[in-house]
Structure 1
Amino acid sequence: MTSSLSSIFHLHFLPSMTLLQLAVASSGSPSPLLGPLPLIHLASRASPILNNHTGQLEAFNPITQQLIPQGPATDAGGQDFDGPAILWIIFAFVIGSPMAFAGIRGWRLTTGVGLGLAATVCSWAALVNTMGPTGISDLFILVTVLGFFVFGFIFGLLEIGRRSGFVMVGITGGLAFGIRIFILKADLLLPVSNAYGAIWAIIALMGAINGMLLVFKKTERGGLLFACASIGTFLTFLGVDLVLNRQVGMSRGLRFLFDRNSSHIVDIISNGYSPSLLTQILLAVSLGLTQFDVQRCCYMIQH
């Protein structure tokens, strides 16, 4: 059992570490934790035309040449420790800790979390990428996506949603692992100027692989162990990072990875994503603890 779980972990971990090594090998400037970083020119990744001839970066519609009004890319993250920020911290710990320590034993609760998180991520990404320059209040976005979580969670508790929730736990666990790999370095692991599609293809592949593991009887337990550990460590360490680094750590990395709203492009490019050494350490530790948590859960099952 332990060897099969180790194989499942390596199926995710080794390709991810290979990507990390390739990025470091092809880099130019130093990073305190991961070594040199790739030289990235962010402006070319966006469809809007970017120009700073006025002394301030502006975005223009590539077809009409009209100025695109800009808004802040807060994306429901809140500011410092305001209401939305506190709610995200609570959500991360309330969902993450049980998944990390007892997700494999949760059964219906675990399948509920699988569908709930899938609904949360999809609704959040849709909202932040379609809102206009005037934006939507962080609290409204947060309440909306949490509403989607509750709906997905309840559906996953029901017999009709059990199997789909089971598979979604696997997919979400794979995605959570892949996302952390790519936000380890400043401006993402691979250069987003010409590899943004590849980044998401790799993340999606990791989610699909772990989702497939839960389809087959021989691999479903190992896939579920990995998924619960990955989701749990991701959310728990996100909560820790939100407390320590607030909106400039993992939160900024997630917005930098997900947000491609043309009304946010100036904010995204101007401010970029530069995780502190502490955020990088938290990400690396969370990835390492995923393997440890898998082995711990395996020991609990056997004894």
Structure 2
Amino acid sequence: MKNSSNTIMAPDTGRNFGASFYHSTIELLRKGFSAVRSNFILLLCCIAVALGIFSLYNIPKSNQFKASFTVAYDDLVRKIYGDRLYKINLLVNRGDFEKVAYYLSVDKHTASTLRSVKGKNIVGEDLTDDMNTDRIPFVIKIEVTDSAAISKLQAGLVSFLEEGNAYSATTKALKIKEINDELQFIDEQLRMMDSLKRKFNDGAVATTNNQNSSATNIYDFSYELYNKRKDLLRKKSMPGTIQVIDDAIVAQASGFPMIVMVILGVIGGFLLFIVTALFIKPALKR
């Protein structure tokens, strides 16, 4: 009989719980609507305060633009670049635009449009915290007050990362010197092989089977040197240790759209109203 009694009571218990939860929810909503009706002016004030706070935050942002560009590099590690960008950002936060203009090699007006500069890796982490030593490209994000200054600031930041200190400048100069020395050596080798090829073509050298094979090797090696020379010329035309692979050509407004501002203001105001109505107002009455 006990088992039969338990079997019969289980559905009743479930129905009672569901009904209790339903009535509790309705009662809570009723009290909530009642509190809103009785404190409607307070709710409007809370929404107005929240909208005001968001507006004060958004007004400076509404005249700012954000952009980003991706760079590849073949020297140092990402953290070093992140630390250097962080120092430029410190100068920007202090308003020391004379130093910013000096380090980025731009005019003071262009430097004064910069509001922030940050280095991020591909997954969005700060470069200052990136201890990896791979060669995966990273992203530089900037905020400016004038979108026309973005291209100049991009060039200035790349130049700063490449030649901003004695080490970087010396590394770049050494790289160019090594390329020039190798080009000179290849040119000398090509002149020597051109002379040998002319002798083979003019018949000045007897053409046995072994010599025919040697002539073929000369032509092959000459072609390899020619391709290597083209590669060196390409590197000489782009001697920098940093190459921009995705320019900052699109600028986006930093501020929130108006509709987002209204939604955030209503949500924030309602949360402020709940805190005020449930905690602050009763505490003041006591």
Q: Same fold (TM over 0.5)?
A: no
- Higher RCO (CA 8 Å, separation ≥ 6 residues): 2
TM-score by length of 1: 0.20
